[in-house]
Structure 1
Amino acid sequence: MDNNKVVNMERSNDKFQWKKYMRSGIAIIAFLILVIFAISNVFIVKENEYKVIRQFGEVVRIIEEPGLNYKIPFIQSAESLPKYKMTYDVEEAEINTKDKKRILIDNYAVWRIEDPKKMIANARNVVNAEAKMSEFIFSTVRSELGKLNYDEIINDEKSSRGSINDQVTAIVNDLLEKNNYGIVVIDVRMKRTDLPEENEKSVYTRMISERESKAQEYLSMGDAEKNRIIAETDRQVTEMLAIADAEANKIRGEGEEAAAKIYNEAYSKDANFYSLFRTLESYKKTIDEETVLIIPFDSPYAQILMGE
C-alpha cells in the first residue's frame, strides 16, 4: 500500500514539471512573436527619401526627417518616395518651326518631388508625375520653338537654345504649380536637334553654301587689308627714299663744294702743278693699254710727255 502511494507521487511530480515547462515555452514563443511583430512595424527613414504612411489607403502622415519611426500594425502601411534629384528622358518628338519646317527634338529633364502629399493627391505615383511633366515639356518646347524659324534653330550663329531651355523650365514649373502636382523641374535641356531624313540633304547644301559665302567674304576682307598694307608700305618706302635722296644730294653738294674749294686753294698755291695734276687725272679716264693717241705737237699732253 505504501509502495503504490510513492509511485503515484512521483508520477504527479513529473506531470507537474512537464506542464510547467509547457507554459514557459508558450510564454517565450509568444514573447518572441510579439517582439518580431513589433520590429516588423518599425521602419527607418533615410536621408534621401520621404516615407508616406497610409491608413486604409488614405495618406495620414508624411515623414521627411531621417530616423526611426513606427506604424500601427494591420492598419497602416509605409511606402518610400525619392527625395533626391531625378533625371527623366523625354521621348523624342517632331515639331514644326515658324516657317513650317519639321525638326526632331530630344530633351531630358532634371526634377524632384517638392511636396509628396500634393504629388500623391494629383499624380498618385512617380510614373504618372513623370508622364504629366513630359506632356508639359513637350507642349512648351513645341510652342517655344514654333516661334523660331528653321535657320535660327539649326544655325549655331543664330541659335537661342540657351535662353529657350531657361524659358521652357520656367513655363513648365508654372504649369506644374498651377495644377498642384507637388514636383519641381530644376532644368530642361535639349540633348540634340535632328532633321528629318528628307530635309537633311537640302539643309546641308544650304549650310555649305553659307559657309562658302562667309569664307569668300573673309578672303575678300583679307585681300582688301593686304592691299591696304602694301599701299601704305609703298608710300612709306617712297617717302623714305625721297628723304634719303634729298639727304644724299645735300651731302653730295656739300662734298663737291668742299672739293672745289680745295681745288681752288691748290691752284692758287701752284698753278703749274695743279695744271699737271688735272692733266694726269684726265689720263686715267681717257687712256688705257689699247689706247692710241694722235695729238698735235703743241698740245699740253705732248708737251708734258716730252718733258717740256
Structure 2
Amino acid sequence: MSNDNVIDMNERGGNGFNRSFIKLGIIIVVIIAILGLIFANLFVVKEGEYKVIRQFGEVVRIVEEPGLTYKIPFIQSVTTLPKYQMTYDVSEAEINTRDKKRMLIDNYAVWRIENPKDMISNARTVVNAETRMEEFIYSVVRTELGKLNYDEIINDEKSSRGSLNDIVTEKVNELLEKDKYGIVVTDVRIKRTDLPEENEQSVYTRMISERESTAQEYLSRGDADKNKIEAETDRDVKEMLAKAKAEAEKIRAEGEAEAAKIYNQSFSKDPEFYSLYRTLESYKKTIDGETIIVLPSDSPYARLLMGYTD
C-alpha cells in the first residue's frame, strides 16, 4: 500500500494553528491601529480658546464650547485661537494738536476675538488683525487729538482724556465691524504723551512761566486778603476800644456821683468834721517840702498845724 495517500494529522494540525494565530495577530494590530487613529484625531477644547477645523485650507467648523471633539483624519487640521481678552501695545506715533503742537502718543488696547470665522476670512491671522486694529487706533487718535489744544491734553485740570478714551474705543469698533474683522476692542488707553525732543525745552519754559504767573496771582490775592483782614481787624479794635472807653466813662461818672452823694450824706451829719476834712485836703494841695507859710500864731490854721485843738 502506497505512503502517498497517508496524511500526517500532527503536521496538518500544526499548520492550521499557526495560520489562526497569524490571523488573530493581524486583527489585533488592525484594531490597535484603528483605535490609535481615532484617538489621534480626538482633541480637547479648553476654556478660553476656539478650535478652528480646516479642510484643504478652508474653515469647515469652529468649536467654541469646552469639551472633547474630533476631526476627520488626514484631510482635516486643527488650529487654536484665544478666546480671552488680550493686551496690545500700539506703536508710538506722532500727531499734531489743534494749536499746531507736535506730540508723541503711546497707547495700548485691550481686545478679543468675537467672531473667529470673520477674523480668519478677513484678517487671516491674529498678527494681521492686530495690525489692522493698530492702524484704526492711530487714525482715530490722530483725528480726535487734532481737535484739542496741547494744554487740554496734558493738563490734568483741563484734560478730556477720560471721554477721549471712550470715543476712540467706540470709533475703532465701528471701523472693525464695518470691515468684518471679527474682533472687538474693549478699551483704548493713552499711556504716555511726550513732546519731540526739539520742542520739549520751549514747552517746559512756557509751563514754568505759566506756573510762576499763577503763583504770583495767588500771592497777590493773599496780600489783598491780608490787607483786608488787617483793616477789618483794626476797625473792629477801634470800635471795641471806643465802646469800652465810653462804658468806662459812664461807670466812672456814676461812681463819682455815687461818691459825692455818700460824701454829702456823711458830711451833713457832722459839719465840723467836714470843715476839718476840707482843711486837711487843702493842706495836701498847698503845702509841700518847700512851702513857706506866714501865719499869725493865734490863727486857727496855725493852731491846728501846731497841734492845738482847744
| TM-score, length of structure 2 as denominator length | 0.90
Alignment-derived partner of residue 294 in structure 2: 296
2:39 aligned partner, one-letter code? I
Over residues 242-268 of structure 1, what are the superposed CA-to-partner deviations in whole Å (9 max), with x where a residue is unaligned? Answer: 111111111000000011111212221
1:206 aligned partner, one-letter code? R
Q: What is the number of residues matched between the two proteins? A: 304
Gaps of 5+ in 2: none
1:128 aligned partner, one-letter code? N
Return the offset for 1:285. 6.4
Change (3 A) 1:276 1:42: same
Give the distance between the partners of 2:301 and 2:165, measured in 1 at CA.
106
Change (3 A) 1:84 1:267: same
Over residues 26-78 of structure 1, what are the superposed CA-to-partner deviations in whole Å (9 max), with x where a residue is unaligned? Answer: 22221111111101111111120111121221112222111111111122222
Over residues 153-212 of structure 1, what are the superposed CA-to-partner deviations in whole Å (9 max), with x where a residue is unaligned? Answer: 223322211121111111101111111111111100010001111111111111111111
Q: How does 1:59-208 map to 2 (within 5 A)?
A: 59-208=59-208
Are the equivalent residues in 2 in contact too, given 1:297–1:303 (CA < 8 A)? no
Residue identity (%)? 70
Return the offset for 1:81. 1.1
Task: Give 3-state SS (helix, strand or coil) of 1:124's partner.
Answer: coil
Alignment-derived partner of residue 219 in structure 1: 219
Alignment-derived partner of residue 267 in structure 1: 267
Return the offset for 1:272. 2.1
Change (3 A) 1:169 1:287: farther
Change (3 A) 1:254 1:33: same
Give the distance between the partners of 1:283 and 1:7, measured in 2 at CA.
186
Task: Give 3-state SS (helix, strand or coil) of 1:269's partner.
Answer: coil
Task: Give 3-state SS (helix, strand or coil) of 2:52's partner.
Answer: strand
Change (3 A) 1:292 1:10: same
Change (3 A) 1:24 1:286: farther
Over residues 75-116 of structure 1, what are the superposed CA-to-partner deviations in whole Å (9 max), with x where a residue is unaligned? Answer: 222211111101000001111122222111100000111111
Give the distance between the partners of 2:70 and 2:305, measured in 1 at CA.
144
Segment of structure 1 superposing worse, 119-128 or 224-233: 224-233
Alignment-derived partner of residue 54 in structure 2: 54
Task: Give 3-state SS (helix, strand or coil) of 2:99's partner.
Answer: coil
Alignment-derived partner of residue 41 in structure 1: 41
Change (3 A) 1:258 1:19: same
Give the distance between the partners of 2:287 and 2:169, measured in 1 at CA.
103
